Amino acid sequence: SLEEFSAYTASFNLQANAFLWKGSLTPEPESIITMVVPSHFLINANGKILRKFPGTNKEVSVRKRMAKQIIKEVREEFENLNNK
């Protein structure tokens, strides 16, 4: 439910918005169709998707590499935004 999702995302205390895609838009945006499921999005204050990241992998070592890459890319995006 939306309430459970909201409670779950709030439990991380990240001070960031989380979005639950229900697939009710027709046609779906290209950025949604081509993503790996589950995925994570980095969006700006206007809701524009800046980057998207694959959500998980069954191998711990792969998940750790993914996390490091995501952190690197988020930092790059943050620096790009601050330099504009």
- DSSP string over 30-79: HHHHTS-SSEEEEE-TT--EEEEEE---SSHHHHHHHHHHHHHHHHHHHH
Q: Which pLDDT score, from 0 to 100, does residue 36 have? A: 66
Beta bridge partners of 52: 41
Residue 70, both tokens: 């995501």
Rounded to two decimals, the pTM is: 0.50
In degrees rounded to 5, what are phi and psi of residue 57?
Answer: -155, 150
In degrees rounded to 5, what are phi and psi of residue 54?
Answer: -65, 150
The 10s digit of each residue's pLDDT in 15-52 is 777 777 666 666 777 766 676 666 788 887 777 888 88
Q: pLDDT higher for 21 or 3?
A: 3
The 10s digit of each residue's pLDDT in 46-74 is 778 888 887 777 888 988 898 888 889 88
